[in-house]
Amino acid sequence: MTSLDIAPFANALVLGLSIASIWLIAAIGLTIIYGTVGVINMAHGEFIMLGAYTSYALQSSLGLPFLLCLPASFAVVALVGLVIERGLIRYLYNRPLDTLLATWGVSLVLMQGVRLIFGSDPKYIAVPEIFQSNVEIGFASLSVFRLVVLAITALIVAATAWLFYRTRFGMQVRAVMQNKEMAASFGINADRVYMTTFAIGAGLAGVAGSLFGVLAIVLPTMGTAYVVQAFLVVVVGGGTLMGSVAAAGLTGELQSVFAFVTNDTFARFLLYVLIVVFLRFRPRGLFAVAKGRR
Amino acid sequence: MTTRNLYHSKPAQWAVYGLFFVIIALIPAFVSDGFLLNQFAVYGIYGMLALSISLCWGFGGILNLGQGIAFGLAAYGMAMTMQMQSQDPDSNPIPPFMLNNSLEHLPWFWQPFWSTGGGILLALVVPTLFYVVFGTLMFRARVSGPFFAIMSLAMLSAFATLILDMQPYTNGANGISPPSPLSIFGTDIDPYGPTAYWIVCGGLIAVTVGAKLLTQSKFGLVIQALRGDPERVRFLGYNVALYETCIYAISGFIAALAGCLWVMLIQYVSPAQLDTTFSIGMVIWAGIGGRLSLLGAILGAFLIQGGQSYLGDQFLATWLLVLGAFFIVVVRFLPKGLAGLLEKVLGALARQPGKHARSDLPHAISGAPAAGE
Amino acid sequence: MGVLEIRDLHKSFGGTKVINGFSLDVTELTLCCLVGPNGAGKTTTMDLITGRQKPTSGSIVLRGDDITALSEHEIAQRGIGRKFQVPAVFRELSVRQNFEVAYSREVNPFRNMLRRRPAGFSAKLDEVATLTGLKDRLDVEAGFLSHGETQWLEIGMVLMQNPAILLLDEPVAGMTESEIEKTIVFLNELKRTNTLIVVEHDMGFVRQIADVVTVMHMGAFLAQGKLSDIENDPRVREVYLGEPEV
């Protein structure tokens, strides 16, 4: 095969990596929340959307440079997440289906709230010129911004892994995940752990949103497009960090390859069917959360 | 707690249901405006959808966020049937939108819809069959509740994008608009006439009676038991996955029926019928009305959809915001919805002082059962 | 040839071996008590018999039929019932409804859609409700029962199910003295029509009900016989009490 033949396929593989990083960064906040607290947060898409609007608002009103908008979005959305956890989620921990529904209500409120405040017209987030060009990697071509997303995703995954496996806080989280009562008897404030974890998960969604606001346009409804994808990463991955990385990588590459072979839509349909079949044989996902016996 | 709560009395329940049936059946006698009649009939469809969710989620504990799959697929099937009714095999075999998309022959999966009976049958059977397969896969694997909910949502979105993208075959985002009303046995069914209304009304009544009898049967009892403790039910000898698939498929069939009737009324279908917001909306109707009450769910749909039409597009954003907030309140404080509120009120009225049939105290103190041996 | 034959059962969870070559023959219409120190594998054995877990190797044979690979409900249909350590009842349903679900002669969902009160149910309900002392509590929501009543409800449910072999996991845990007395009478009565396997720690209770006692240790069979023989067996004493003092 000449290099001309494998180039488009290689391009698909590289693009798959970019898609995987988008899925992963969209899902990482959700993974943390589900893995620790066991909550499926239907408002996750709206946390992403809030991150995008935060960056837009900071940029248009304060002229904040894009790279500073990222941590700012983290902080703002984390705060929103905190309020929602304290005000609602913590009363529903033993009712997983009801939490799913209550957070859907939250998503409606957030979406419509943003619509009333900012309007339904699309907004745009500006990025430095250098991010807008394309770069050649061997025979594959990718926009610089997608590389930035890839880099930031890797950074966030590393930081999250460090937080959960190398710090004292992370150990507390893992203890609470395994056995809440026992952890409490050792003096760990499970309530605080849940609250902080939820806030961090929300904040990460905010960062993802800032990035997505550049990749796509900023609309009140932008979150819904990422929600299903993010959920699937968590479902297939099983709820652990490693699981989500593996799931995002697998599904991102599969989607890109399928799209290369057929078309974009049929690729997605095929992928979802594959996931359903996969779940039949491994209902808890690739690397499921190891919960202790109750 | 051995005093009788009127809410739980079966004869009282059937009486209320009967009253409801009589009221909705009599509406055409008081309403002559065809447009309004059509609108009421559409509410009836929403009621059927809410009922199907109540059956599956309230009674069975299976949260299904993708009911639009059955509703939408059946709606497309019905639209295809009605479209082919206006086509002629010799002079006009291909729907106009396909010609616009440069199709020269009728696609193979459109062929069965030449027959009205066959088309309607397919519209009902295919979605139900999908539910049977999907349900079997998921329930035999004992996938957790939230995961199942998400998978149903994912499949819904997958179907929606598929239909949207198959432009030449489904007319994509434009949807299918059959030019004439449904024709059965040679007669046209005017969507704005009382006949169409009564067909929907009859459908709603039949489905409600069937569902209520189902919940009162042994099957219904097992379903409610497995909602609480599926493992215990397994150890008693019941094939839980089979029961779950049954209730899920029955719920899907009702949604499919609703989809067919909807197209009969609206003469249009588009990928919007497979919108995630619409499917989740059905859960909100049932949740607010009362997921454990079939009539509650139906009335919940009437209330919310009625409110939404009344407030119109101008206040839509605010309406949705208020709805979202109200839904949060219901989930948090009123898990059994407004029907549950009624249950509590009637329960409180029944427990008036001096009317105690038995005090619970002696049992708690002695710990020994009081019956003689 | 017993009604239930367990042959060389092995079960590992990850790297830990929980059941290590356990074999047991259960004779029909006897009450066999399964005892042993914590972690001996008693509850796991019950899980394996009822199909909640699958053994790594070994076989379980019920009246000549190999049930090792069957699922929980198939095993239950073949006549094995179980009462859990923590009472598992349907808290949102009434006592009567709990009994009704437990009356599982007919498990086919389609036939159950068409019927409401199966034949023979009312008589059996009367019998069981009287026996368990819940006759006046039939319309109470199960979640509102006292702990002892909940235990009796679950016992009643298993009676409604009427399995040939009944597995009871610590049935008197949390019961008052009088309730335990009542349970002893009731189990001795039940021995005449059903086969019972009881996991227990309370030796006084075991003494009053057991026909044969089987001791498990580290996932394997240690000793079997009448309680008096077991109590004097040096190996058993060693396992429970440690090395004998010199």
Average pLDDT on C180-205 reads 88
User: Is B372 among the domain residues?
Assistant: no
- Over residues B180-218, the pLDDT tens digits come to 898 888 888 899 988 999 999 999 999 999 999 999 999
Average pLDDT on B350-367 reads 50
**CA neighbours closer than 13 Å in the CB half-sphere of residue A18:** 21
CB neighbours of C229 closer than 8 A, spacing ≥ 6? none
Chain B interface, mutation test: which of A99, A262, A272, A294, most B Cβ atoms within 10 Å? A272
A128, A223 contact by CB (below 8 A):
no
With an 8 Å Cβ cutoff, is B224 touching chain C? yes
Structure tokens at B160: 């929606």
What DSSP string runs through B51-85? Answer: HHHIIIIIIT----S-THHHHHHHHHHHHHHHHHH
* Strand, helix or coil for residue C60: strand
Residue C85 to chain B, least CA–CA distance (Å): 12
- Structure ipTM: 0.90
pLDDT confidence band for C98 (50 / 70 / 90): very high
Q: Which domain holds residue A194?
A: 28-227
What DSSP string runs through C180-239? Answer: HHHHHHHHHHHTTTSEEEEE---HHHHHHH-SEEEEEETTEEEEEE-HHHHHH-HHHHHH
- Over residues B39-54, the pLDDT tens digits come to 999 999 999 999 999 9
Please report, rounded to a whole number, the percentage of residues in chain A having pLDDT higher than 70: 95
With an 8 Å Cβ cutoff, is A4 touching chain B? no
Q: Which of residues 152-191 of C touch B (CB under 8 A)?
A: 152, 157, 161, 176, 178-179, 182
pLDDT at A293 over 50: no
- Over residues A172-195, the pLDDT tens digits come to 888 887 777 788 888 888 888 899
User: Is B368 among the domain residues?
Assistant: no
- Over residues B121-166, the pLDDT tens digits come to 999 999 999 999 999 999 998 988 888 998 999 899 889 988 988 8
Minimal Cβ distance to B332: which of A91, A273, A277: A91
pLDDT confidence band for B368 (50 / 70 / 90): very low
User: Is B25 among the domain residues?
Assistant: yes
With an 8 Å Cβ cutoff, is A62 touching chain B? no
B74, B130 contact by CB (below 8 A):
no
Cβ–Cβ gap B224/C92 under 8 Å? yes
Residue among B71, B81, B171, B172 at smallest CA distance from B130: B71
Lowest mean pLDDT among A11-15, A205-209, B223-227: A11-15
Q: Which domain holds residue B261?
A: 6-354
Chain B interface, mutation test: which of C49, C54, C72, most B Cβ atoms within 10 Å? C72
* Strand, helix or coil for residue A20: helix
- Rounded distance, CA C85 to CA B297, Å? 38
H or E stretch including C5? strand C4-13
**CA neighbours closer than 13 Å in the CB half-sphere of residue B58:** 33
Residues in chain C closer than 8 A to B373 (CB atoms):
130-131, 133
Average pLDDT on A121-148 reads 77
Burial class from Cβ neighbours inside 10 Å (0-12, 13-18, 19+) for residue C125 reads buried
- Over residues C20-38, the pLDDT tens digits come to 889 999 988 999 999 888 7
Residue B267 to chain A, least CA–CA distance (Å): 27
Across all residues in chain A, what is the average pLDDT?
Answer: 85
Minimal Cβ distance to B146: which of A40, A107, A116: A40
Residues in chain A closer than 8 A to B280 (CB atoms):
104
Chain A interface, mutation test: which of B150, B311, B329, most A Cβ atoms within 10 Å? B150
- Rounded distance, CA B271 to CA B156, Å? 11
**pTM, rounded to two decimals:** 0.89
Residue C101 to chain B, least CA–CA distance (Å): 6
Lowest mean pLDDT among B70-79, B85-94, B270-279, C235-244: C235-244
Cβ–Cβ gap B370/C133 under 8 Å? yes
Chain B interface, mutation test: which of C52, C110, C113, C136, most B Cβ atoms within 10 Å? C113
- Rounded distance, CA A36 to CA A240, Å? 9
- What pLDDT score was predicted for residue A140? 67
Average pLDDT on A49-64 reads 90
With an 8 Å Cβ cutoff, is B51 touching chain C? no
Q: What is the DSSP letter of B362?
A: H
Chain B interface, mutation test: which of C48, C75, C104, most B Cβ atoms within 10 Å? C104
Q: Kind of pairing, strands C212-217 and C31-35?
A: parallel
Lowest mean pLDDT among A259-268, B47-56, B115-124: A259-268
User: Is B366 among the domain residues?
Assistant: no
- What pLDDT score was predicted for residue B371? 40
User: Is A277 among the domain residues?
Assistant: no
With an 8 Å Cβ cutoff, is B100 touching chain C? no
pLDDT at B302 over 80: yes
Q: Which of residues 285-304 of B touch C (CB under 8 A)?
A: none
Cβ–Cβ gap B235/C114 under 8 Å? no
Residues in chain A closer than 8 A to B283 (CB atoms):
101
Average pLDDT on A19-36 reads 88
Structure tokens at A56: 């837009």
Residues in chain C closer than 8 A to B231 (CB atoms):
52, 72, 88
Across all residues in chain C, what is the average pLDDT?
Answer: 87
pLDDT at B1 over 50: no
Integer CA distances (angstroms), A168 to A75, A164, A171, in order: 22, 8, 5
User: Is A43 among the domain residues?
Assistant: yes
CB neighbours of C78 closer than 8 A, spacing ≥ 6? C62, C65, C67, C70
Q: Which of residues 86-145 of A touch B (CB under 8 A)?
A: 88, 91-92, 95-98, 100-102, 104-109, 111-113, 115-116
User: Is A284 among the domain residues?
Assistant: no
User: Is B35 among the domain residues?
Assistant: yes
- Rounded distance, CA B31 to CA B19, Å? 18
With an 8 Å Cβ cutoff, is C130 touching chain B? yes
Residues in chain A closer than 8 A to B149 (CB atoms):
40, 97, 100
- What pLDDT score was predicted for residue B310? 82
Residue among A238, C229, A265, C85 at smallest CA distance from B158: A265
Residue B276 to chain A, least CA–CA distance (Å): 9
pLDDT at A12 over 90: no
User: Is B79 among the domain residues?
Assistant: yes
Give exposure, A284-294, as e/b (b: 16+ Cβ within 10 Å). bbbbebeeeee
* Strand, helix or coil for residue A203: helix
- What pLDDT score was predicted for residue C41? 85
A126, A56 contact by CB (below 8 A):
no
Minimal Cβ distance to C90: which of B232, B238, B364: B232
Burial class from Cβ neighbours inside 10 Å (0-12, 13-18, 19+) for residue B304 reads buried
- What pLDDT score was predicted for residue B360? 47
- What pLDDT score was predicted for residue B370? 40
A244, A23 contact by CB (below 8 A):
no
pLDDT at B367 over 60: no
pLDDT at A125 over 50: yes
Residue contacts between B and C (CB atoms, under 8 Å) = 127
Cβ–Cβ gap C97/B221 under 8 Å? yes
C222, C239 contact by CB (below 8 A):
yes
- What pLDDT score was predicted for residue A3? 45
Per the structure, the count of domains in chain A is 1
With an 8 Å Cβ cutoff, is B141 touching chain C? no
- Rounded distance, CA C26 to CA B171, Å? 68
pLDDT at A15 over 90: no
**CA neighbours closer than 13 Å in the CB half-sphere of residue C213:** 23
Q: CB atoms < 10 A from the CB of C46, how many? A: 22
Per the structure, the count of domains in chain B is 1
- Over residues C44-94, the pLDDT tens digits come to 999 999 999 999 899 999 988 899 989 999 999 999 999 988 888 999 999
Across all residues in chain B, what is the average pLDDT?
Answer: 88
Residue among B207, B262, B251 at smallest CA distance from B72: B262
With an 8 Å Cβ cutoff, is A231 touching chain B? yes
Q: Which of residues 51-70 of C touch B (CB under 8 A)?
A: 52
Integer CA distances (angstroms), B155 to A269, B79, B160, in order: 8, 21, 8
Cβ–Cβ gap B327/A107 under 8 Å? no
- What pLDDT score was predicted for residue B251? 97
- What pLDDT score was predicted for residue A7? 72
| Nearest-5° Cα angle at C22, C20 to C28 | 165
**Bridge partners, residue B92, by sequence:** B88
User: Is A233 among the domain residues?
Assistant: no
Minimal Cβ distance to B224: which of C93, C102, C106: C93
pLDDT at A133 over 80: no
pLDDT at B55 over 80: yes
pLDDT confidence band for A88 (50 / 70 / 90): very high
pLDDT confidence band for B352 (50 / 70 / 90): low
- What pLDDT score was predicted for residue B217? 92
Residues in chain B closer than 8 A to C152 (CB atoms):
369
User: Is B134 among the domain residues?
Assistant: yes
Give the chain A residue whose CA is nearest to the CA of B316.
Answer: A112
- What pLDDT score was predicted for residue B3? 55
- Over residues A101-120, the pLDDT tens digits come to 899 999 999 999 999 899 88
With an 8 Å Cβ cutoff, is A224 touching chain B? yes
Give the chain B residue whose CA is nearest to the CA of A280.
Answer: B141
- Rounded distance, CA A31 to CA A236, Å? 11
pLDDT confidence band for B359 (50 / 70 / 90): very low
Lowest mean pLDDT among A131-140, B189-198, B360-369: B360-369
- What pLDDT score was predicted for residue B134? 94
User: Is B71 among the domain residues?
Assistant: yes
